[in-house]
A = this chain, B = another copy of it.
Amino acid sequence: MDKKPVIVPKGRQQPRVKIEDVARKANVSPATVSRVLNHPDIVRPELRDRVMRHINDLAYTRDSAARALKSGRMRTVGVIVPTLALGIFAEGVEALQNRLSESGYTLFIANSQYDQRREFQELQSLIERGIDGIVLVGASHGRELRSLIEQAGVPVITTYVAKAGGGIPAIGIDNESATREMTEYLLRLGHVRFGAIANVVAASNDRSRARLEGIQRALSDAGLPLKPTQIVKADYSLAQGRSALRQLLTDHPDTTAVICTTDTLAIGAMAEARKMGLAVPATLSITGFDDVELAAQMDPPLTTVSVPAAEIGRGAADYLINAIAGSPVPRSVVLPYRLVMRSSSAPPRSSVRPARRGRSRDH
């Protein structure tokens, strides 16, 4: 009469195999099955084997929700990156996932699009999911985000930077010092007229900001502080590298060295230089940052800073695994970057014999 056609229940079709089913088949209690799975060494070997056989026969797998409920551990870690479009982040995430997977952890991924509000929301949703650890990128995070983390009592680590505020441990490189070294290298080559292209448009991109500061500091120390027009701000696209170079050379046609805070920008700048008929490095030296795969293959190959992204990812995984287990963990890990001198940089064409570092020529 009023019987509606049967609706397939939304849940799992096949009635899941439960620990109790295994227990019954093996003629033991559920407790024993649980022990076989979690503490195999405290179960008599023959019994353990028998139970194991039945577990395999029934293709039993534990319900992770029930497990998590009882144990309070999800065996899950979350990562929030600005974007996956940057190879350097993708590489780090991949290494992170691989290492976590080895230890039985699963990785949640989210992206913030360089937006702190979004980062906060994604983190909130991850925490509600009950993650056991969090990986962030960069040093600058809203204070409400920090209090959210604190309140959740979940271990965190932030990556790609050498240190972060708010007591958050970090693993990464010292961005500022890297560009400072790069700048000093160019100074040693004899360059005196510099330009910088930095993707500092996104408010939360503290890496590029630190890199820019490294450039500025080195040049100030050398008595050649950058004028505002010698710094072109961009986002992280290749096309912006092009237009940035054009603008820079419009304002300062005599520039001989351009330092970019990203390989993407540098590659864009090189493309534009070529189009403008400027020889690299004869007329213009260009350097990047990140050492993406393409950098070495450019013509000429790009001088840049190599960032150990995979190592950062692995290190973050190890840190969290230990922190979750309650093992002691380092406060922060500073990894070495590597300056990779290729042939997109050279002494300026009409370089006077490299003066002994023109420290106080003008002041």
The answer to whether A111 touches B130 (Cβ under 8 A) is no
A297 interfacial by beta-carbon distance below 8 Å: yes
Find out whether the CB atom of B11 lies under 8 angstroms from the CB atom of A64: no
Contact of A87 among B11, B65, B69, B87 (CB under 8 A): B87
Interface residues of A in 191-228 (CB under 8 A from B): none
Which of chain A's residues 252-290 have a Cβ closer than 8 Å to chain B?
Answer: 264, 267-268, 271, 274-275
Q: A10-B326, A13-B153, A238-B293 known; A84 and B74 CB under 8 Å? A: no
Q: Are A297 and B271 in contact, with the CB atoms below 8 A?
A: yes
Q: Given A63-B130, A97-B109, does the pair A299, B275 have CB atoms closer than 8 Å?
A: yes
CB-based contact B84/A129 at 8 Å? no
Q: Are A129 and B109 in contact (CB under 8 A)?
A: no
Cα A93 to Cα B264 in complex, Å, equals 21
> B275, A130: Cβ atoms under 8 Å?
no
Q: CB-defined interface of A64-77 with B at 8 Å, one 1/0 digit per residue? A: 11101100111010
**A268 touching B239 in the complex, CB below 8 Å, given contacts A108-B108, A110-B97, A128-B62:** no
Instruction: Indicate whether A29 reaches chain B with its CB closer than 8 angstroms.
Output: no
A31-88 contacts to B (CB < 8 Å): 59, 61-66, 68-69, 72-74, 76, 83-85, 87
How many whole Å from A270's CB to the nearest CB in chain B?
9
A122 located at the interface, meaning its Cβ lies under 8 Å from any Cβ of chain B in the complex: yes
**Roughly how many angstroms separate A238 CA and B130 CA in the complex, as a whole number?**
40
Residue on B with the closest CB to A72? B11
Choose one: B68, B101, B239; the contact of A297 (CB below 8 Å). B239
Point out the residues of chain B lying under 8 angstroms from A62, CB to CB.
Answer: 128
A180 adjacent to chain B (CB < 8 Å) = no
- A10 to chain B: which residues have CB within 8 Å? 73, 325-326
* Minimal beta-carbon separation of A213 from chain B (angstroms): 27
A27 beta carbon closer than 8 Å to chain B: no
Question: Is there an interface contact between B69 and A63, defined as CB atoms closer than 8 Å?
Answer: yes
Our pick among B65, B97, B152, B267 for the contact of A69 (Cβ within 8 Å) is B65
* In contact, A238 and B12 (Cβ under 8 angstroms): no
- Please measure, in the bound complex, the distance between the C-alpha atom of A108 and the C-alpha atom of B91, giving whole angstroms: 16
Give the complex CA separation of A74 and B63 in angstroms: 11
- Name the B residues within 8 Å of A106 (CB-CB): 108, 110, 125-126, 129
Residue of B64, B73, B239, B268 touching A128 (CB-CB under 8 A): B64
- Known A-B contacts A64-B130, A294-B238; the reply to A91 vs B97 at CB < 8 A is no
A–B pairs, 18, beta carbons within 8 Å? A14-B151, A63-B130, A64-B128, A65-B68, A65-B74, A66-B69, A76-B129, A83-B94, A84-B94, A94-B111, A97-B111, A106-B125, A107-B110, A109-B109, A237-B293, A264-B293, A274-B299, A294-B294
Residue numbers of A with Cβ under 8 A of B are 7-8, 10-14, 59, 61-66, 68-69, 72-74, 76, 83-85, 87, 90-91, 93-94, 97-98, 101, 104, 106-111, 122, 125-130, 151-153, 237-239, 242, 264, 267-268, 271, 274-275, 293-294, 297-299, 325-326
